[in-house]
């Protein structure tokens, strides 16, 4: 497995990471713990060293799973987690708002350290920008945690350009995590140039469009009641049908390259910048192997031009999120 540095930092990780959310949260019922432990350990054996979790996934249960599964490999891997959601005090498995007050950040980190079974968090992201707390205060709180030896690197998620600059001025930002793929190209216009300028790495989540870019969905796809994709505008039958043009494009390139649509989608992302590290999530061993195979797929400048030309003629139907969640991005 190739390694990449996240921006100008000294944080070197595998070129492809593993998003762990779906093992416990959002994509239907939590998956079998033993199977997910085996999957996480297989990922390490296959060269993946970068794992992504968050306090809110579960809540809490995903960090516990990742911490226990990766405990034997602690010196080999980089684990990223996130703070910033206010969780239901009644113990309900849901979030009820945002909370990035410095005292809450410090409480969240203590909990994450215990669940992850570590003495220091490798990469700590603010999960979503809290409009009620100046980003300078957030960055200052994380800076204190870095100085206290409880955190190594600071990250932001779905932050806008002004927030990134202001945070970076207080505590250097190692990585930004936001959605980016062939069907969500929003970061290209403003975000990527700023990250390049400031030397910040980029970690695209949902690099396979929450499964759509694998080519395994169509307008007849049905989602389990606990699968949040059933509530997303981009996953209505009409949108799924309209967006099949992207799958046709990936399939055509894949046929030439002897690769699957998912592998082409990931290879395209990897080819954009050397400091981009996608984190596709999966709960299945064959999909893990397929995703890892994308690192070996070489797209030529001609291939990339062809993909961009064809993709520019496709208008993706449907918003990423319902309005309430969409408002939490790009702040």
CB 86 within 8 A of CB 50: no
- Structural element, H or E, at residue 5: strand 3-5
Q: Across residues 105-117, what is the average pLDDT?
A: 98
- Model confidence at 324, pLDDT cuts 50, 70, 90, reads confident
Judged on CB neighbours under 10 Å (0-12, 13-18, 19+), 64 is: middle
pLDDT in tens, 206-264: 999 999 999 999 999 999 888 999 999 999 999 999 999 999 999 999 999 999 999 99
Phi then psi for residue 124, to 5 deg, are: -115, 115
- Model confidence at 291, pLDDT cuts 50, 70, 90, reads very high
Which domains are seen in the chain, by residue range? 3-326 (3.20.20.100)
Judged against a pLDDT cut of 90, whether residue 35 lies above it is answered with: yes
Locus of tokens 């039958």? 237
pLDDT in tens, 177-219: 999 999 999 999 999 999 999 999 999 999 999 999 999 999 9
* DSSP-based three-state secondary structure for 214: helix
Judged against a pLDDT cut of 80, whether residue 136 lies above it is answered with: yes
- Structural element, H or E, at residue 242: helix 237-242
- Model confidence at 92, pLDDT cuts 50, 70, 90, reads low
Residues catalogued as catalytic: 57
What was the pLDDT predicted at 90? 67
Give the global pTM: 0.96
Judged against a pLDDT cut of 70, whether residue 75 lies above it is answered with: yes
Q: What percent of the chain has pLDDT over 90?
A: 95
Judged on CB neighbours under 10 Å (0-12, 13-18, 19+), 313 is: exposed
């Amino acid at each position: 497995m190739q390694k990449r540095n996240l921006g100008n930092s000294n944080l070197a990780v595998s070129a492809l990471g593993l998003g762990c959310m779906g093992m416990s949260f959002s994509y239907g019922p939590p998956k079998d713990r033993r199977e997910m432990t085996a999957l996480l350990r297989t990922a390490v054996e296959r060269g993946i060293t970068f794992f992504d979790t968050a306090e809110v996934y579960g809540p809490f249960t995903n960090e516990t799973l990742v911490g226990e599964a990766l405990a034997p490999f602690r010196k080999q891997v980089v684990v990223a987690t996130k703070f910033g959601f206010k969780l239901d005090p009644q113990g309900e498995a849901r979030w009820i708002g945002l909370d990035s007050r410095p005292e809450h950040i410090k409480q969240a980190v203590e909990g994450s350290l215990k669940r992850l079974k570590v003495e220091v968090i490798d990469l700590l992201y603010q999960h979503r920008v809290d409009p009620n707390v100046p980003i300078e205060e957030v960055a200052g709180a994380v800076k204190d945690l870095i100085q206290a030896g409880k955190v190594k690197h600071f990250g932001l998620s779905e932050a806008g350009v002004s927030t990134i600059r202001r945070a970076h001025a207080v505590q250097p930002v190692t990585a930004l995590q936001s959605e980016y793929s062939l069907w969500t190209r929003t970061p290209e216009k403003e975000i990527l140039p700023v990250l390049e300028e400031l030397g910040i790495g980029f970690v695209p989540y949902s690099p396979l469009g929450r499964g759509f870019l694998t080519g395994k969905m169509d307008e007849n796809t049905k989602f389990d009641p606990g699968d949040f994709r059933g509530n997303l505008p981009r996953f209505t039958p009409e949108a799924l049908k309209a967006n099949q043009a992207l799958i046709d494009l990936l399939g055509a390139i894949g046929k030439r390259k002897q690769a699957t649509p998912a592998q082409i989608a990931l290879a395209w992302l990897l080819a954009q910048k050397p400091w981009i590290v996608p984190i596709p999530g999966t709960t299945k061993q064959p999909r893990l192997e397929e995703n890892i195979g994308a690192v070996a797929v070489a797209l030529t400048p001609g291939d990339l031009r062809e993909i961009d030309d064809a993709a520019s003629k496709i208008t993706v139907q449907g918003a990423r999120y319902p309005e309430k969640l969409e408002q939490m991005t790009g702040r």
